[in-house]
């Protein structure tokens, strides 16, 4: 069971450092099992390796083992780039050094600081360092940084328990998970979920946002009723004796649900709930205003985090582009990027439309949002733009007064 918590819900702890400083060894002693190859040959770890594990008493986490950033040559550059990408989904960075703090280390530390990622420094291999060397490195660090430093060894397990405790302390002080819906609810409320079962629904199961929303309702002591869009009207009018607190629908059924749900009942979509939980609803709402400024032949970046199931009418590749062109009457250029990497330079785009990111963690999406903000490119999300293009964004944002205010202003 332990590996069942979705990766997107686990904090990511990324180990960075030069080759051979003991990153893989530290991960191994922390998870107490020989999963990754610990080897004397520099650069064995090529791509970042993710290890889902349980960090007790904290809970499920992912350790990300990266290649050394002193890798040179063409292959090395690729690895370094992958390491940087791994950093974008980090909730915590562990920077590992041994007997010296190099300029490369400093560059990485500065990068981590600039990305606002929590970090701590490990001086590893204490078992083979003399007092003098240890003092010298510690002083070097102290001169430049105000950060927790741990002197560790994977051989005699010096400070390994302390390392684990420090990781847990930082993770707890900086929760990476926000609620999907529970903060909007109180016990005894009723929530209705509308889940169309069409050709895009996976066979025999529900998708992650649906399952997680149900679970949060149960945790919040709330009744959660799940219907298809066809049964919604009957359920609301003949089954429920009291009005539900909120109706949450798949964006596919927005218009029908909007029509079936009384005006005084809140209504929104799973993807807007996710936009709030995994991204930043305010920034996404501001991004919506860019739609009115679009001109013919403007470029739009569609950022999709998972390589999607192949369905005939894909939401990001087909539907949103079509709706947006129909709505604006413009001819637009859409570039679709799948996966964890988007271009460094975003300035050619007039708008970025980010998917809900149900398989990603919040840090990855927030670092994307920050990248867009840094380059002054408006960013919004699938859920918001679908609501907007269907003319129901105001209603769909009513549960979130702060965002609604931005929309109206
Ligand atoms: N003496 C000593 N050697 C270590 C320690 N940690 C790792 N090593 C050794 O350093 C080498 C590189 O370790 P590895 O974990 O592969 O480094 P990575 O390249 O940073 O992932 C291996 O030979 C390890 O056995 C330590 O705490 N003390
Ligand atoms: Mg390694």
CA 52 → CA 47, 223, 304, distances in Å?
Answer: 16, 32, 23
- Ligand 1 atom with the smallest distance to the CA of 42 is 19
Query: What tens digit of pLDDT does each residue of 281-290 get?
Result: 999 999 999 9
Contact 287, 300 (CB under 8 A): no
Euclidean distance between CA atoms 386 and 382, whole angstroms = 6
Which pLDDT does position 313 carry in this prediction? Answer: 57
Euclidean distance between CA atoms 342 and 303, whole angstroms = 7
Average of per-residue pLDDT across 360-377: 89
Q: Which residues line ligand 1 (CB under 6 A)?
A: 17, 19-25, 38-40, 45, 68, 124-125, 127-128, 153-155
Distance 41 CA to ligand 2 centre (A): 9
Query: Which listed ligand is nearest to 26 at the C-alpha?
Result: 1
Average of per-residue pLDDT across 111-126: 90
Which pLDDT does position 1 carry in this prediction? Answer: 36
- Ligand 1 atom with the smallest distance to the CA of 152 is 27
- Of 348, 331, 323, 347, the closest CA to residue 296 belongs to 331
Which pLDDT does position 76 carry in this prediction? Answer: 60
Euclidean distance between CA atoms 301 and 371, whole angstroms = 13
Distance 257 CA to ligand 2 centre (A): 52
Which pLDDT does position 299 carry in this prediction? Answer: 98
Which pLDDT does position 363 carry in this prediction? Answer: 83
Nearest residue (by CA) to ligand 1, atom 3, is 125
Average of per-residue pLDDT across 316-343: 93
| pLDDT over 50 (residue 2) | no
pLDDT band at 222 (very low <50, low <70, confident <90, very high): very high
Nearest residue (by CA) to ligand 1, atom 28, is 125
Q: Which domains does the chain have, with CATH numbers?
A: 2-173 (3.40.50.300), 182-273 (3.40.50.11420), 279-408 (3.40.50.11410)
Distance 25 CA to ligand 1 centre (A): 6
Euclidean distance between CA atoms 243 and 192, whole angstroms = 10
Query: What tens digit of pLDDT does each residue of 125-157 get?
Result: 999 999 999 999 999 999 889 888 999 999 999
- Ligand 1 atom with the smallest distance to the CA of 153 is 27
pLDDT band at 339 (very low <50, low <70, confident <90, very high): confident
| pLDDT over 70 (residue 34) | no
Distance 9 CA to ligand 2 centre (A): 25
Which of 14, 15, 22 is the best mutation target for the ligand 1 pocket, counting ligand atoms within 8 Å of the beta carbon and taking the most? 22
Which of 35, 45, 154 is the best mutation target for the ligand 1 pocket, counting ligand atoms within 8 Å of the beta carbon and taking the most? 154
**Residue 267 phi/psi, 5° resolution?**
-145, 130
Nearest residue (by CA) to ligand 1, atom 6, is 22
> 82 versus 392: which is more confidently predicted?
392
Neighbours of ion ligand 2 (CB under 5 A): 23-24, 45
Taking the alpha carbons at both ends of the chain, their separation in whole angstroms is 47
Query: What tens digit of pLDDT does each residue of 143-196 get?
Result: 889 888 999 999 999 999 999 999 998 888 776 668 899 999 999 999 999 999
Which pLDDT does position 88 carry in this prediction? Answer: 82
Which pLDDT does position 315 carry in this prediction? Answer: 85
């Amino acid at each position: 069971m332990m590996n069942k918590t979705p990766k997107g819900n686990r904090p990511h702890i990324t180990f960075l450092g030069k080759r051979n400083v003991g990153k893989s060894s530290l991960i191994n002693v922390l998870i107490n099992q020989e999963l990754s190859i610990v080897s004397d040959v520099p650069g064995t770890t090529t791509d970042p390796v993710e290890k889902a594990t349980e960090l007790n008493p904290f809970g499920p986490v992912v350790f990300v083992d990266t290649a050394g950033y002193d890798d040179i040559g063409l292959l090395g550059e690729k690895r370094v780039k992958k390491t940087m990408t791994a950093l974008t989904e980090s909730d915590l960075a562990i920077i590992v050094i041994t007997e010296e703090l190099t300029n490369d280390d400093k560059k990485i530390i500065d990068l981590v600081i600039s990305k606002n990622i929590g970090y701590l420094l490990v001086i590893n291999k204490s078992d083979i360092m003399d007092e003098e060397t240890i003092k010298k490195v510690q002083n070097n660090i102290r001169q430049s940084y105000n950060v927790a430093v741990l002197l560790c060894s994977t051989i005699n397990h010096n400070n390994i328990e302390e390392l684990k405790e420090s990781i847990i302390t930082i993770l707890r002080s900086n929760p990476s998970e926000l609620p999907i819906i529970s903060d909007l609810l109180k016990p005894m409320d009723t929530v209705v979920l509308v889940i169309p079962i069409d050709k895009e629904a996976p066979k025999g199961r529900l998708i992650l946002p649906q399952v997680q929303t149900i679970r949060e309702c149960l945790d919040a002591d709330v009744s959660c009723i799940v219907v298809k869009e066809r049964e919604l009207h009957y359920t609301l009018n003949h089954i429920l004796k009291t009005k539900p607190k909120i109706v949450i629908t798949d964006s596919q059924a927005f218009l029908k649900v909007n029509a079936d749900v009384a005006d005084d009942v809140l209504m929104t979509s799973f993807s807007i709930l996710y936009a709030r939980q995994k991204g930043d609803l305010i920034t996404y709402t501001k991004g919506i205003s860019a739609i009115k400024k679009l001109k013919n032949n403007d470029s739009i970046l569609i950022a999709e985090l998972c390589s999607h199931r192949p369905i005939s009418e894909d939401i990001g590749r087909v539907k949103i582009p079509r709706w947006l062109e129909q709505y604006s009457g413009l001819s637009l250029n859409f570039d679709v990027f799948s996966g964890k990497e988007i271009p460094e330079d975003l300035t050619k785009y007039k708008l970025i439309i980010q998917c809900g990111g149900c398989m990603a963690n919040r840090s990855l999406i927030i670092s994307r949002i920050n990248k867009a903000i840094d380059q002054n490119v408006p960013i919004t999300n699938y859920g918001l733009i679908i609501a907007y293009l269907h003319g129901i964004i105001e209603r769909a944002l009513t549960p979130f007064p702060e965002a609604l205010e931005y929309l109206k202003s």
